[in-house]
Amino acid sequence: MSNKAKNILLGLAIIMLAGLLWSRAILSISMGLFLIYAVYNAYHQKLKLLSNPLFIWCLCPFALILMGIYQDGFNPSNLQILLGILVYPIAGITAIAGEKYSFTKTISQPWIHAALIALLYPLGWFVLHASEAFELYGQGRTLPVFMDTDHVRFSIFLCSALLFTLLPVSNARYKKTSFAILLGAIIFLSVRTGWVIAAIIVTGYGIHYLKRKPLLDRHRNRNILIAIIALVTIFAITPTIQQKIRYTIYDWNNYNTKGYDSTYSDGVRRAINAVALKAISEDHASAIGWSAIPSTLQQKFTQVLNGQKTQYGWPFNQWLFWWMGSGWWGMILYSLWLFYPAWYGYKHNNPFLIIWTLAIAFSCLVETTLNYQYGVLLHVWPIMICWQTFKQLPK
């Protein structure tokens, strides 16, 4: 039964990853299948879920999300947000029930393989369309990718796989090679969110590694110095990186001198977030409910920017979104919930929980990451994998 349950868990992970890359419908179906699997195994193992901090953390989003639903009730917009939150308890029950089936290894290994396979599309496209690719980077864009060409979430996906190559999973093959390929691809694709998250991963794991094995020998010092020089060289000579850096500087200078321009990405983010903060401070647009945010933000945007309109329905900052929807108290509670895994990781000497919590928190500064189906999934499943990393299997 143990091998059968483990194989089913592996099969569901593959379905989920296939849905993540190619089909939202398959992704949603995989969550339903995970729920059936998790509930069945939890019942037969007689698990006490309500005494498990992991499961309690996964339930908390339901209480938090209600702080922005009561204003307008369960309308279609609020129900869609609530539906996305369902992934948290599904992943939580699966992680707890799958602990005896090597949950961390069973999910993390196909995750790494899926990331490596997914890289073939953008890298292959670059080889076949090099001149067009450079033109795209010059316009602040990047290569086409899977996940509905959601470059930010795709870079987060690659970074999660990068983190998984560092997990202390036994019998995991090609970890160093996979780490090098993924890190190189993240740098080359030049999605800045991916750059920062990769830096958080490398720095966080480096601190953990040095605490366990202090630098004492010259050989190790030399290797680290070579790695640093190699990274600096890559950033200095890679064309896609240079194009993205030049565009970023141009975008920010353009916004600072000419103001808002809808054709530039960074300027749009700055303008939307500034308008959201004005709506909160000037119009007291706080605790207005999730469904009221789009119309409030768009109306304020038109007022502030002299009649210009925007199609965006929420700020590019998760805290501003929670502030507008649930008030400052909701934002504080949301922050406590978001950073709890990092505190838990610190208390239980689990650096991977700390690293991924900080990574997602950073992405929430420049995106409403957890408003998207991909974002929620890329938050909770890596958290579950990291949370269960050091769990001992029953003998």
Neighbours of 249 (CB within 10 A): 10
The answer to whether residue 392 scores a pLDDT higher than 60 is: no
Give the whole-angstrom CA distance, residue 85 versus residue 87: 5
The answer to whether residue 75 scores a pLDDT higher than 80 is: yes
Evaluate whether residue 293 is within a structural domain: no
pLDDT at position 136: 80
Give the whole-angstrom CA distance, residue 277 versus residue 152: 23
Evaluate whether residue 373 is within a structural domain: yes
pLDDT at position 140: 72
Pick the closest to residue 158 from 146, 148, 167, 142 (CA basis). Answer: 146
C-alpha 136: how far from chain center: 24
Q: Average of pLDDT values for 366-390?
A: 95
Evaluate whether residue 289 is within a structural domain: no
Task: Render pLDDT for 249-259 as a digit per residue (tens, 0 to 9).
Answer: 888 888 888 88
Give the whole-angstrom CA distance, residue 382 versus residue 150: 19
Tell which phi-psi region holds residue 287, choosing left (phi > 0), alpha (psi between -120 and 50) or beta: left
Evaluate whether residue 283 is within a structural domain: no
Q: Average of pLDDT values for 236-259?
A: 83
pTM above 0.85, yes or no: yes
Give the whole-angstrom CA distance, residue 203 versus residue 355: 9
- Residue 290 is encoded by which pair of tokens? 């999730």
Q: Average of pLDDT values for 14-23?
A: 97
Q: Looking at the 3D structure of the chain, how many domains does it have?
A: 1
Exposed e or buried b per residue across 253-269, where buried means at least 16 C-beta atoms within 10 angstroms of its C-beta: ebbeeeebeeebebbbb
C-alpha 258: how far from chain center: 33
Task: Render pLDDT for 123-143 as a digit per residue (tens, 0 to 9).
Answer: 999 989 888 887 888 777 788
Top-confidence residue, 365 or 245? 365
pLDDT at position 353: 97
Task: Render pLDDT for 342-368 as a digit per residue (tens, 0 to 9).
Answer: 999 999 999 999 999 999 999 999 999
CA distances from 189 to 36, 121, 160, 170, 210 (A): 37, 12, 15, 30, 29
Confidence of residue 227 (pLDDT cuts 50, 70, 90): confident
For 380, the domain range is 2-245+322-387
Question: How buried is 153 (Cβ within 10 angstroms: 0-12 exposed, 13-18 middle, 19+ buried)?
Answer: buried
Evaluate whether residue 170 is within a structural domain: yes
Confidence of residue 386 (pLDDT cuts 50, 70, 90): very high
Please enumerate in sequence order all residues whose Cβ is within 8 A of that of 368, keeping only pairs 6 or more positions apart, or say none.
314, 315, 316, 317, 318, 321, 375
DSSP codes of every residue in 78-145 = HHHHHHHHTHHHHHHHHHHHTGGGTHHHHHHHHHHHHHHHHTHHHHHHHHHTHHHHHHHHHTT-----
Q: How many CA atoms lie within 13 A of 187 on its CB side?
A: 18
Evaluate whether residue 99 is within a structural domain: yes
- Residue 197 is encoded by which pair of tokens? 């998250």
Neighbours of 26 (CB within 10 A): 15
Evaluate whether residue 187 is within a structural domain: yes
pLDDT at position 9: 96
- Residue 220 is encoded by which pair of tokens? 């190790």
SS3 for 216? coil
Evaluate whether residue 8 is within a structural domain: yes
DSSP letter at 392 equals P
Q: Average of pLDDT values for 90-97?
A: 96
